[in-house]
């Protein structure tokens, strides 16, 4: 049966599944169906940087007048930095591999690829993004007789969904498959691989609510609920042509190419239906994204539709802004959408990558200066991943502008994002060497207030208003981390900090100028009294801080 071409899904969470007759296939019986790239040269050359740099954005009025572009930083509080381009894998038996999906977890990006047309071939890349400006390809896996449409990393495994050539893989009990493959520190381990199968011509999407997983499959397929790590099916609802699934606040949204969007609860009960006027081309990729009150749908030639989650009413249509010459009409389509904070990204094929920025002050839409036909986009955390046809995957780091970096001098509560607790002294003392820790959520104690002073260099001194002592990085012998304590200020770099904006509006990282590591709540713990340390950058919530002004 013909398989879906490059079916992809909005990036949330991912899961594995099985069919009515769950089948386990031992990797040893598969020969060389999965093969790891062993050449360090291939891996080290897998990411290019020749086009790296800040990307301009052309807004609507500039496109119509064909004037020069402008940086988003001139009108908003962040800009986009292209940090790497991943060349599409190539191996014997494959042709025209293109990126289909990206999942970003714990400093790694996991990328799936499949092949346009009737050939079944795929690949998986693992990219280390510990250094946001220098991505590293650390692992690559080639797939024979299988496509990879969707990928998710979860708790030591990657889950790869797609379609399988049942004429060559006789053990397959269906065309839609899920593979569960071990990964440790970015390295793929093929010593044991589990396969599961589901009805439908290809697996198209996955999401997770609490401890249940929801898997969709395409033509003559279904959405199925699987409970627990064993992926035991508990319920299933059939659909004609599922293209995508996403979830938010305990609700599911599934996109059917023949009917539109169906909103369901976690037990697969239908809550509402969003009927759409758009006609979906057979086998074409289309994705959806969902917020607390809206569903955003990629609708091909009509751009993207923004629908009210409760009423189903169309609230806004996001048009395709560019009309490039020399592209066929079928390539001027919105294939994928992704929402990250106040930015919505649209993959518009030959019309490029569009971005809509909306907050209290702005409501702008423009096109990012990015080469190639953009067939897929997903944004997660500080990153945007855009698939440019056969040109590979482009990695964009979203950073705030210098103007928004500056926090004025004054008195503040400094609150950890992951726990909601504010910084304080571990004991009510003015002595040197007292540990700084996360304390209450209210910030009412004297020892939880901090003064920021900006030096001529632009660095910050962070002083306790209780003791007038400065936050200082204090080395810990034999440990990777260092403590953060209060000490009399003496002008040392260990007492000076850079405050750097995170991608999410209102949050910042605090970097020590001595060890170049970041202020971090030890072990990502949420309990009061947990010490502060400095630790290499990873960007999670225990390294993100909110500054609440208290002296105005």
At 384-442, the pLDDT tens digits run 999 876 567 899 987 655 444 468 889 999 999 999 999 999 999 999 999 999 999 99
The label of the residue with tokens 């260092």 reads: 482
pLDDT at 76: 47
Domain with CATH 2.130.10.10 in the chain: 27-402
Asked whether 318 and 354 are in contact (CB, 8 A), the reply is yes
Q: E strands of 3-156, at which residues?
A: 34-36, 47-48, 53-55, 57-59, 78-86, 97-105, 108-115, 121-128, 136-144, 150-154
- Count CB-CB contacts under 10 A for residue 405: 15
pLDDT band at 225 (very low <50, low <70, confident <90, very high): very high
pLDDT at 519: 97
Higher pLDDT, 25 or 381: 381
Query: The domain 27-402 is classified under which CATH number: 3.40.47.10, 3.40.50.300, 2.130.10.10, 1.10.10.10?
Result: 2.130.10.10
CATH architecture group of domain 406-549: Trefoil (2.80)
pLDDT at 389: 63
pLDDT digits (tens, 9 = 90+) for 514-531: 988 999 999 999 999 999
pLDDT digits (tens, 9 = 90+) for 104-138: 888 899 999 998 778 899 999 999 998 878 899 99
Mean pLDDT along residues 490-509: 88
Q: How far apart, in whole angstroms, are the C-alpha atoms of residue 284 and residue 278? A: 13
Higher pLDDT, 264 or 213: 264
pLDDT at 282: 72
The helices-and-strands tally (H runs, E runs) of the chain is 3, 43
pLDDT at 95: 67
Asked whether 203 and 162 are in contact (CB, 8 A), the reply is yes
pLDDT digits (tens, 9 = 90+) for 229-268: 788 889 999 999 999 999 999 999 999 988 899 999 999 9
Asked whether 335 and 298 are in contact (CB, 8 A), the reply is yes
pLDDT at 360 over 60: no
DSSP state of 259: T
Asked whether 145 and 120 are in contact (CB, 8 A), the reply is yes
pLDDT at 63: 53
Asked whether 115 and 521 are in contact (CB, 8 A), the reply is no
Closest CA to 461 of 496, 410, 512: 496
HSE toward the beta carbon, residue 177, CA cutoff 13 A = 29
pLDDT at 454 over 90: no
Question: Which two tokens mark 524?
Answer: 């990502």
Mean pLDDT along residues 474-502: 90
pLDDT at 306 over 70: yes
pLDDT band at 6 (very low <50, low <70, confident <90, very high): very low
pLDDT band at 49 (very low <50, low <70, confident <90, very high): confident
Mean pLDDT along residues 329-343: 86
Helix (H, G, I), strand (E, B) or coil at 114: strand
pLDDT at 309 over 90: yes
pLDDT at 64: 47
Closest CA to 352 of 339, 365, 363: 365
pLDDT band at 289 (very low <50, low <70, confident <90, very high): very high
pLDDT at 323: 62
Sign of the torsion formed by the C-alpha atoms of 65, 70, 72 and 77: negative
- The share of the chain scoring above pLDDT 90, in percent, equals 54
HSE toward the beta carbon, residue 369, CA cutoff 13 A = 20
> For all residues of the chain together, what is the average pLDDT?
84
pLDDT at 327 over 80: no
pLDDT band at 476 (very low <50, low <70, confident <90, very high): confident
Domain with CATH 2.80.10.50 in the chain: 406-549
pLDDT at 2: 38
């Amino acid at each position: 049966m013909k398989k879906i071409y490059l079916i992809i899904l909005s990036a949330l969470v991912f899961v594995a599944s099985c069919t009515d007759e769950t089948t386990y296939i031992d990797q040893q019986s598969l020969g060389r169906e999965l093969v790891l790239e062993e050449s360090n040269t291939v891996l080290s050359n897998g990411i290019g940087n020749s086009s790296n740099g800040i990307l301009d954005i052309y807004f609507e009025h500039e496109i119509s007048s064909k004037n020069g572009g402008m940086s988003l930083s001139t009108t908003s509080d962040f800009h986009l930095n292209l940090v790497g381009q991943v060349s599409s894998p190539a191996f014997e038996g494959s042709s025209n591999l293109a990126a289909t999906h990206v999942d970003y977890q714990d400093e790694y990006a996991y990328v799936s690829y499949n092949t346009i047309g009737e050939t079944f071939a795929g690949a998986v890349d693992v990219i280390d993004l510990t250094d946001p400006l220098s991505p590293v390809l650390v692992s690559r896996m080639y797939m024979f007789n299988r496509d990879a449409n969707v990928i998710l990393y979860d708790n030591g495994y990657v889950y790869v969904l797609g379609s399988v050539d049942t004429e060559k893989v006789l053990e397959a009990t269906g065309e839609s498959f899920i593979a569960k493959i071990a990964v440790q520190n970015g390295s793929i381990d093929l010593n044991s691989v589990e396969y599961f199968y589901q009805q439908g011509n290809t697996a198209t999407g996955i999401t997770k609510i609490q401890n249940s997983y929801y898997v969709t499959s395409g033509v003559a397929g279904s959405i199925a609920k699987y409970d627990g790590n064993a992926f035991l099916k508990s319920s299933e609802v059939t659909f004609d042509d599922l293209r995508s699934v996403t979830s938010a606040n305990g609700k599911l949204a599934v996109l059917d190419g023949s009917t539109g969007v169906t909103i369901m609860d976690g037990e697969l009960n239908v809550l509402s239906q969003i009927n759409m006027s758009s006609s979906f081309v057979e086998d074409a990729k289309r994705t959806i994204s969902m917020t607390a009150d809206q569903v955003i749908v990629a609708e091909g030639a009509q751009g993207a539709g923004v629908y009210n989650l409760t009423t189903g009413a169309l609230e806004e249509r996001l048009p395709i802004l560019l009309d490039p010459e020399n592209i066929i009409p079928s390539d001027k389509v919105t294939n994928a959408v992704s929402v990250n904070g106040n930015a919505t990204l649209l993959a518009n094929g030959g019309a490029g990558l569009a971005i809509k920025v909306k907050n209290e002050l702005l409501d702008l839409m423009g096109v990012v200066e990015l080469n190639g036909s953009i067939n897929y986009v997903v944004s997660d955390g500080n990153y945007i991943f855009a698939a440019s046809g056969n040109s590979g995957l482009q990695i964009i780091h979203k950073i705030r502008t210098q103007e928004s970096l500056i926090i004025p001098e004054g008195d503040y509560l400094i609150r950890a994002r992951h726990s909601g607790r504010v910084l304080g002294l571990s004991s009510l003392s003015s002595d040197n060497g007292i540990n700084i820790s996360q304390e209450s959520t209210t910030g009412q104690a004297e020892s939880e207030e901090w003064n920021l002073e900006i030096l001529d260099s632009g660095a910050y001194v962070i002083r306790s208003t209780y003791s007038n002592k400065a936050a200082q990085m204090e080395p810990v012998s034999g440990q990777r981390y260092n403590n953060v304590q209060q000490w009399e200020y003496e002008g040392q770099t260990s007492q000076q900090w850079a405050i750097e904006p995170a991608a999410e509006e209102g949050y910042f990282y605090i970097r020590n100028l001595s060890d170049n590591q970041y202020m971090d709540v030890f072990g990502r713990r949420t309990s009061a009294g947990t010490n502060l340390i400095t630790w290499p950058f990873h960007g999670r919530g225990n390294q993100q801080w909110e500054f609440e002004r208290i002296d105005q």
